[in-house]
Amino acid sequence: MGKETVYNKLVRDNILEIIADNRQECKYHIATDDEYKIKLLEKLQEEVQEFIETKNIEEMSDIFEVIENIIAAFELNKEAILKIKEKKAEKRGKFNKKIILESVYEKNNK
């Protein structure tokens, strides 16, 4: 057996076939539901960090993929999420105006 690289992370469904096609072997297991949820959240952090570093559309597509799987794994309602998003946008706005809040202070009532 040659050099081993340890990943211990969630990977896409076809990765095992890709590894085999590259004449490599691997160790893997199927996550429990609880482990899957933890690994999805770790994967989201990984993909967001990669996007921050590269600003690459490929990384953004990975973020979308992970978010869709988080919605399914945590049994969240996508339509409800979108409704909440819109309500927040109506009440508090979006991020389109590029406002950076520097500080908040109390007014003197003199």
Query: What domain count does the chain have?
Result: 1
**pLDDT value at 42 more than 80:** yes
Average pLDDT over residues 15-38: 96
Average pLDDT over residues 25-44: 97
Q: Is 98 inside any structural domain?
A: no
Percent of the chain with pLDDT over 70: 98
Q: Is 48 inside any structural domain?
A: yes
Contact, 78 vs 71, CB < 8 A?
yes
Domain that residue 56 falls in: 15-92
Q: Which tens digit of pLDDT belongs to each residue from 63-104? A: 999 999 999 999 999 999 999 999 999 999 999 999 999 999
Q: Is 7 inside any structural domain?
A: no
Higher per-residue pLDDT: 109 or 74? 74
Average pLDDT over residues 13-17: 95
Q: Under 8 Å CB-to-CB from 47, ≥6 apart: which residues?
A: 59, 62, 63, 66
Angle, helix 57-73 to helix 33-54, in steps of 10 degrees: 160
